[in-house]
Structure 1
């Protein structure tokens, strides 16, 4: 996910010239840290594919994700913030490895992964450019997007436990749309001074990109899985 996306991150920041110095600094630091976490996460995922690491399971995934996310939040203003961010993104890279391996094993799997990667990068660029160039403040979307993600999480768990593929596909489409909205929301918060901690801004954007990529991977891979 990182190679196509991170190489374009500075382009999105090109529209930030008119921002106050403090907001430009937060945006610059956010994109720099986001680039590094994406590369690190992609490296961990690549190792998972190469060494065929087993999937952690839904319970360990949820505990690890929310536990590390809580740790990042608590440590966001300390010297341990960066190690916590890399622990979180590394863990998410580990959970991505088995999904990538499964996608690559399908007919046309490599093309599906590249398509999902490209669509994620284009969406990130479009949403970031919109937030940077528009004078609108999109932070009011936060409540709607959060509620949508809670509903998507519950529906996704139902799809897993009840084994309803059609529901899982609908959830993937919903998460992809919500993730695009969250990229717009998170970038807008930085631009308008609503988020001044680049660590938390990075985590917000990373999680949105991760969810967008995995959702698109599921959607694009659905056709291949039916062959």
Structure 2
């Protein structure tokens, strides 16, 4: 009887801990998305130039390393806002480019709507079914690495077809990453809400920019 009560107590504690991680993750994710959108808007209004590929990669990986190092402290929250603010800054010039195109406003709204629908749909599916998608981890890691290298190749060798293929790959990979990370939180594989927020934010960012690229191509002359 005592062992059963102990097991129930541990189970309840595990559920409470998981619910806390989920709640904190989505609160912080909402705040960082809003902050990133504000920074992107400021970047657009000031007409700031894009920092370029090298500075973007250095800034992203540097701030990601800082966030990972500080993930267990309150300073980690500041690092998350620094990372997402920087990514918002890089998004501003991209949005300005697409908004200057014919039907640019429609393209941006379609990309935003598509991103929201995919994220909410996949997150809702993982949360309600509580299926374990941990088996996708290895595939996603390899797929993202391959897509990243292919994207660099498309930029350096100016291959539009490869660039479109990479964007399509990222739409699928980021969708899978949303499922994987949400499942990871539910089943206790991810207990740090700061890192969970970063993973979901990066998934949303890449999903949005990839949809922008694909929709912009389909709507262009």
Question: TM-score higher than 0.5 here?
Answer: yes
Unaligned runs of 5+ in 2: 1-13
2:172 aligned with 1:183: no
Q: Paired residue for 2:46?
A: 51
Aligned-pair distance for 1:62? 0.5
Q: Give 1:21 deviation, angstroms.
A: 1.1
For residue 19 of structure 2, give the secondary structure of its aligned residue in structure 1: helix
Q: Which residue of 1 aligns with 2:149?
A: 154
CA RMSD, 1 decimal: 0.9
Kept in 2, the 8 Å contact 1:106–1:224? The answer is no
Secondary structure at the counterpart of residue 20 of structure 1:
helix
2:200 aligned to 185, 201, 205, which one? 205
Cα contact 2:130–2:183 (8 A) shared by 1:
no
CA distance in 2, matches of 1:159, 1:104: 23
2:25 to 18, 21, 30: 30
CA distance in 2, matches of 1:165, 1:135: 39
Query: Does the 8 A contact of 2:174 with 2:203 survive in 1?
Result: yes
Give 1:130 deviation, angstroms: 1.4
Q: Does 1:72 align with 2:64?
A: no
Output the CA distance in 1 between the equivalents of 2:94 and 2:111: 13
Structure 2 equivalent of residue 84 of structure 1: 79
Q: Does 1:123 align with 2:114?
A: no
Give the Å deviation of 1:223. Answer: 2.4
SS of aligned partner of 2:49: coil
- Segments of 5+ residues of structure 1 without an aligned counterpart are 1-18
| Aligned residue pairs, count | 208
Once the 2 structures are TM-superposed, how far is the Cα of residue 48 of structure 1 from its aligned partner?
Answer: 1.1
CA contact (8 A) 2:167 2:210 kept: yes
Following the alignment from structure 1 to structure 2, what is the Cα–Cα distance between the partners of residues 144 and 68? 25
Contact 2:130 2:186 in 1 (8 A): no
Rg (Cα) greater in structure: 2
Task: Give the SS at the match of 2:35.
Answer: helix
Q: Does residue 113 in structure 1 map to residue 108 in structure 2?
A: yes
**TM-score scaled to structure 2, two decimals?**
0.92
- Distance (whole Å) between structure 1 residues aligned to residue 15 and residue 117 of structure 2: 27
- Counterpart in the other structure of 1:101: 96
Partners of 2:127 and 2:30 in 1: CA distance: 18
Question: So what's the TM-score if we normalise by structure 1?
Answer: 0.90
CA distance, structure 1, for counterparts of residue 121 and residue 190 of structure 2 = 20
Contact kept, 8 Å, 2:40 with 2:90, in 1: the verdict is yes
